[in-house]
Structure 1
Amino acid sequence: MSTLEEEKLILKGLAANDKQAIETIYRGNFAMVQSFILNNSGSQDDARDIFQEAMIVLFEKSRLDSFELSSQLKTYIYSVCRRLWLKRLNQMQRYSGSLDNVEETVQVEEDLETHEKRNADFTLMETAMSKIGEPCKSLLDAYYIQKKHMQEIAADFGYTNADNAKTQKYKCLMRLKKLFFAQYKNGQ
């Protein structure tokens, strides 16, 4: 049975209020939604609330004869949850963007695989950063995260001038790149 056929059966089960279908949707999608909300100013309770709201939307849609799922189920759920969460953030005034163009930015057809790939790359980068050691880790953090100038970094790390700090940053970056791509090759 293909994924599309399985998802249609799950939606039919959801429309019939089948407990197993609901559990399947929850098990397959809640962690993704929870991760998104926790990474965007939310809490565990927020994640549960938003996921529950999305399940209600999906339940209501699945009962309509006219509803045709045009993407993977997890893509649809992610998009609905993202839209609901952005609306909630806007209501709490924690999201500064306009919701006028959310329709354009949160498409149901959004490619979730790209999102998952990017998250996997970030995880590989975090691992590489943890292996790089000091002073490279602190130096790269000072430059890229804390946005410090080279003169300030030179003073903080005891380099004679900004050019020496810049050279050391370059060496650290090359070491990080080497660690990252070694892990990337092994993961493929």
Structure 2
Amino acid sequence: MTALIEACEAEEKEVRLTALYQSVFPPLCKYISRRGGSLEEAKDIFHDALIIYYEKDLAADAITDEKAYVFGIAKHLWNKKHLDAQRYTELSEQSLDLPDQSKTVVSSRLLLFLQQTGQKCMDLLQAFYYENQNAEKIAARFGYSGVRSATVQKFKCLEKVRDLVKSKAQQYEDFLE
């Protein structure tokens, strides 16, 4: 008797799954096709959705609209797969518009402001930023009594440049080429 009941239940599940396949798969194919997917991808997504549905069905959770449930799962799986694929696409060097650092030219306006601060400030800032010298070397090179004095003088030079820029009402964007 139990074998007969199990056979009937298995046949009933097969009929339900076949009906789901016939009613959900065609619209799902259209959905995935409109979003750039292939028939193979639609089949994979649909089968994954059916497995999730079947596991949910075995757990005896009440599903009121099986078609909407399976279609919703499939849409979610497709969107997740599609978004993951977009997130991890490789960037080619041609698609990047990064400026070449070796060809960056100092703006003539910025150079004018630096020149207005005086030769000593220009040399000090050049040693720090372009020659990448540490504060000890700068202190010895420019005759400061210590590292702290060199750091303070560098700060004062930067403040001179900032004040000149502010006084001339220049904006950061004015220095971009």
Q: Which has the larger radius of gyration?
A: 2
TM-score, length basis structure 2: 0.41
TM-score, length basis structure 1: 0.39
